[in-house]
Amino acid sequence: MTMRIALAHLGPISQLVPAMSVVEGIKKQKVDTHISWIVQEDYIHIHKYNKHIDRTITLEKFSREKGCYDLLVNLWPFFPERLKINSVVKHSIGFCFGDIEDQLYKGPLIGNSSLPNMSVLQLYFKLCGLTWKGEGYSVGYFPRTKTRKNRVGISVANANLRNYVLENLELENMKVWYIPYRKNIFRKMDEINRCKKVITDDLFTFHLTVSMRKYVYYLKTHPLTLAIETFGNGEIYTVPLNVFE
């Protein structure tokens, strides 16, 4: 019998990308499942290439429909407490449902406290009641651009930080290219794919780069509240404070 699961993540896109890893994990560990992914309306489109997600829906539409779910998992710390859901939900876990230590895991996701010995992927799996076994990202989109092997892409907004990169990182005589801003996630992935390596201080760009198995240099300008996983395909640099003086 098919297990119907609803996954809710009402957080920002920078957190949606790593959170999508749990979908493939669920499909592997619970084979016969139907997964509904509940997100903000602005982010519905980013899941259209993910073959593991059976449908994407907004919270408003989900709350109005009449159905039956075996499990509802809330992956983001904030969820409308007084929301009336017309569907029958047999079991709910995750934030706001009392099955986890909310304060322990809420802070690291929103940047208020630290849990450095657990990666963000491990945390999302734990929220689902699963054990992370090294699963990677699961965006599902394959870029339409070709990789230029002699190109390193830089996605850093601060001018001082860009200068620091050029002066301190060994770029192996690769051609430097500044990745243009793209609001659309798939166009952004197209731009990232034009490079062999990527340098960034932006976690969203970092997650997309790792999901595409590109080598990434992550510039850590603030303490990380959760460990980040490069899968052996990247390096993390702590940027000195005087760079911004």
219 touches 201 (CB < 8 A): yes
Q: Hey, what are 82's tokens?
A: 């007084």
pLDDT category of residue 68 using cuts at 50, 70 and 90: very high
d(CA 47, CA 31): 20
What's residue 82's pLDDT? 66
* Residue range 181-221, pLDDT digits in tens: 998 999 999 999 999 999 999 999 999 999 999 999 999 99
What is the domain range of residue 232?
A: 148-244
50 touches 140 (CB < 8 A): yes
Number of C-beta neighbours around residue 181 at 10 A: 10
Domain of 220, CATH number, reads 3.40.50.2300
Name the domain count of the chain. 2
User: What pTM, to 2 d.p., does this model score?
Assistant: 0.92
What's residue 102's pLDDT? 63
Which residues, in sequence order, are CB contacts of 25 under 8 Å at separation 6+? 125, 128, 130, 132, 133, 135
* Residue range 134-158, pLDDT digits in tens: 989 989 999 999 999 999 999 998 9
Q: Tell me if 84 is assigned to some domain.
A: yes
CA distances from 180 to 126, 183, 189, 220 (A): 35, 10, 11, 21
| Shared domain check, 118 and 39 | yes
Partners of 8 in the beta sheet? 38, 74
d(CA 77, CA 103): 9
* Residue range 23-55, pLDDT digits in tens: 988 888 777 899 999 999 999 998 889 989 999
| Shared domain check, 113 and 10 | yes
